[in-house]
Amino acid sequence: MYYKMLVLHENTKYTKVRGMNQKQIVDYWQAEADESLAVTNHLFEKKDYSYALFFGHLAVEKIIKALYVQNCDQDVPRTHNLLRLTKAAQIETTEQQQRDLIRITAFNLESRYPDYKRNFRKKCTREFSKIEINTIKEVFLWLKSMLQ
């Protein structure tokens, strides 16, 4: 839906959405991130663990994209690589945060592509998924705390 609404305005540093300013675009990405995290919780409750982790990845990706617009005043890069996005968004990370971002990025690939999905679903027990979702939530809250 977002990409269908994009309208490129001349003489701007980033793509504006139907005349939205930078703050409104940041708010848009934040709302999308919050919604993806809510879906993560819902899917976990329904025992759909692999997709819960997939949506957890989306939540983190979207909150980083909000920070990218806030920090760089440009349209977001079209990538799902969380570590690459944090670097582009000028977000400093610890080694542990980098490891977490790399692991969370893997959930996007493992739950999306059929050749990975079958093995990934076997790995996604309730216990495994709960631990990973807790990490996702910690990373999400850390990133969200940087939004102004």
Beta pairing partners, 93: none
Contact 57, 108 (CB under 8 A): yes
Give the pLDDT confidence of 64-74 residue by residue, as tens digits: 999 999 999 99
Residue 90 has pLDDT above 70, yes or no: yes
Q: Tell me the percentage of the chain whose pLDDT exceeds 90.
A: 74
pLDDT at 142 over 80: yes
Find residue 16's DSSP bridge partners: 7
Contacts for 133 with CB less than 8 Å, ≥ 6 apart: 40, 41, 44, 52, 53, 56
Number of domains making up the chain: 1
pLDDT tens for each residue of 6-55: 333 333 444 556 678 999 999 999 999 999 999 999 999 999 999 999 99
Largest CA distance in the chain: 50
User: What pLDDT, on a 0 to 100 scale, did the predictor assign at position 82?
Assistant: 98
Handedness of CA 27, 99, 53, 82 (dihedral sign): positive
Per-residue confidence (pLDDT) for residue 4, from 0 to 100: 33
| CATH code at position 100 | 1.20.120.330
Enclosing domain of residue 67: 2-144
148 against 11, higher pLDDT: 148
pLDDT in tens, 94-133: 999 999 999 999 998 766 667 777 888 889 999 999 999 9
Calculate the CA 47 to chain-centre distance: 21
Between strands 16-17 and 6-7, the pairing is antiparallel
pLDDT category, 1, cuts 50, 70, 90? very low
Look up residue 78 and give its amino acid: R
3-class SS of residue 89: coil
